[in-house]
Structure 1
Amino acid sequence: MKNNKLITIITVVKNSEKTIEKCINSVINQSHKNFEYIIIDGDSNDSTNTIINKYKDKINIHITEKDMGIWDAMNKGLKLANGEIIGFLNADDFYYPNALQLVNRYFFDNKIDFLFGSVQKYKLMYGYKPWKIRFSFGFYTSHSVGFFIKTKEHKKIGEYNPKYLSADLDFFYKMIKRFKMDGMSSLKSEIFGKFGSGGFSSKVNYVDHLIDLNRIRIENNQNKFFVYFIFLIKIIKKPLKFLSSYIKKINNE
């Protein structure tokens, strides 16, 4: 059927035996059944793959091999995707049952390249404000759980650049500023799922994160002086967090 789009879901995982089963079940039990599920495992040494293999009849592709990190693993999944739309679900996160049904409806009813769904994190994240990207990367809901994009449009932009800690933000900046793609958000009440508290982003040092954001902006041709002005504002707003992260960074070097 024309309005029943094939959606590819990509999960990258390493040593997530405590959360991977809930993640998998949230995909395979979706009300929208026309999906392809790809799991890229980074050579886990716990029971992660034993759990994944319990659901092998429901998983289209399952690869287990060493990789160079989360973004390298995502790029592997992207190369294998056959769906018209791609979404990402990290191993610590999970969808609510009607998430893919909402995605299918939004892409069928609207001429959009991408979609940001509402996501439950430490608070409810909703909306899409592209005008904010010049000043802040707090313009969207979430990459895992909330972000969906047409596969052909993702390929136009390219892969995630693993040299960045926040390669998704580099991708989003290109998507909005360079390629000027059209997107929208779901309604606040249309929550796609829940974002776990122990994922990759929660382990990134605050200082390293700010430096990474500077690199992303500057290497995407944003004015260097304006970038460092934003950097200074962030330090002023959270001086204790910056100082604590800086001390930890020095002690670890």
Structure 2
Amino acid sequence: MQTAKKDIQPIDTSTEVSPEEKTFLVRGNRQIPIFAECASKYSLFFRYKEKRNFSLSDEPVNLLIRNNGQSIELGPCRILPGPDLNGYHGRLVFLWDVYDIQSLLKNQKVVKLQSVLNDLPLVLARKNKIRPSFKEYTTNLCYDLSVYQKTFDELDLQYKDEPEEIKRLVQKAILDSQSEKFLQFFQKTVDELIQEVADFSEEEHQTHGFYFRKQVWNHILCGPLMRRPNLKPRGYAGDSEMMSMVYRNAYEG
């Protein structure tokens, strides 16, 4: 099943759900068969197979798919009219539980967007296993990093409209005069962290590492040298972009 393109005229039915799959729109006791095709990841185009159809109103409908003796009904959905339907009768979007249409029509797999929220209670409960001293350390570190970030960002704004050469020299002056102080602060926090986790078990390292990463994640993303290895898959070797940043040995971000 391929995603519908805006310039398709006339309708290419080769990518539609086959009639054997018996796809219906359902409202109350009425079931009307349709052809369906992905419009986007979370919406689908449809056209009625018969002259029967539902009036365009705010009353929701459900999507019913029957295939190989099995059936699933999802909804509620809203029918969206509009000029960009590529010849279809409407566009369907979920109103409550939102499902991945591409996965549903192409792979016959039901994937709900909000399913990740089911894990929230477990994730939130992880903080109950964190040592109070580690929580205090992390809270203080996040506060200090936020103050540093806000201060340096405000300094950058003061000279952002200067000519490039002046901007470079002003930035260098700030770095030359302040970087040593910041590096001393940062090394102090690293030393404190090493001391804090010295007697952790393997399980505590995992639990506290997860907690710590969640707390400082936004700060990690601020620095290109830290952001890239954290976003790249583990085990990735020989990253040319990382090597380029190392060789440039310049201010990044």
Same fold? TM cut 0.5: no
Q: How high is the TM-score relative to the length of structure 1?
A: 0.23
Structure with the larger RCO, 1 or 2 (CA within 8 Å, 6+ apart): 1
Larger radius of gyration: 2
Q: How high is the TM-score relative to the length of structure 2?
A: 0.23
